[in-house]
Amino acid sequence: MSRFTHASIVPYVIDIPHALAAAQEKYNGTAGRAFIARLPRLAADFLDRWDLKLDGRPMHGVSALVLPVLRRPDHTPAVLKLQLPDEESRGEPIALRAWNGDGAVRLLDHDEPTGTMLLERLDPTRMLSQHPDTHEAAAVIARLLAHLTTTPAPPGLRHLGDITQAMLADTPQALTQVPDPETRRLLADCAAAVREVATDPGDRLLHWDLHYENVLAADRAPWLAIDPKPLVGDPGFELLPALYNRFDPTDIRHRFDTMTDILTLDPARARAWTLGRVLQNCLWEIADGRPLEPERLEIARRLRGTGD
């Protein structure tokens, strides 16, 4: 997640936002608590190591603390991103290096053991989520994806094919935990759609989480992508975030058609991979004992069985 909120700061002391600590506790348990405990020291170490000066109030999302900084000696604006490395975040610097600032935020430095990154500073006050025209916002997402997914995927990333096989293996047991017959049928249809495309999972470099809050304005480009959770696969797997965020059930088909047109995707394949993405989220919710998100289920209903 990339919706940043402000926390207080005093010289040389980082005040860890309570919301970040709560998110780490919720999602990462003991490892998350340990990460929060070492954050002040970690921040101080990298401010010193990379010769940085704090330049504003900390920001955070669900998984990372982001510090506005100036790079000495020329005082170039940047941000220091401190996060707990996991399966998703480990691929972020790999993808950012491959894109090299072309359509995405530029990576300036990276420490592999801790996952800490020094990034180009964009404008967090100008998110695509604030764009008043949702149709144009979806088109912006599609144009960015059309550009980013032309980059050959570098080694060292997760593969959609592996994720797909794991999803399909987990689905039968998960469906036994869904009490509503209509929802079970819907998820079974999602799995059936994925099976039809699973033998060709694609080989493109995907962002995987390009929604409206992960697109920021910059001086050098109108919009740039941030916070990738990259994997190698079919660009059709990229569409769900732009359908789910700023949710409007009457606009699902328009956004889907706009994005498949701009990305020049086969609509049937893109639909199958979008249904697969719904299935992925539902499997997570079932495993965690959480209720299924009605918005994602509605996206699946409106795309399931529709013609091209």
Q: Which residues are catalytic?
A: 209
For residue 288, give Cα distances in angstroms to 29, 64, 174, 291: 14, 22, 11, 9
CB atoms within 10 A of CB 45: 15
- Any bridge partners for residue 231, and if so which? 158, 206
Question: Which pairing describes strands 231-233 and 158-159: parallel, antiparallel, or unpaired?
Answer: parallel
Burial readout 133-167 (b: 16 or more C-beta within 10 A, e: otherwise): ebeebbbbbbbbbbebbebebeeebbebbebbeeb
- Distance from C-alpha of 211 to C-alpha of 33, rounded to nearest angstrom: 28
- Distance from C-alpha of 5 to C-alpha of 61, rounded to nearest angstrom: 7
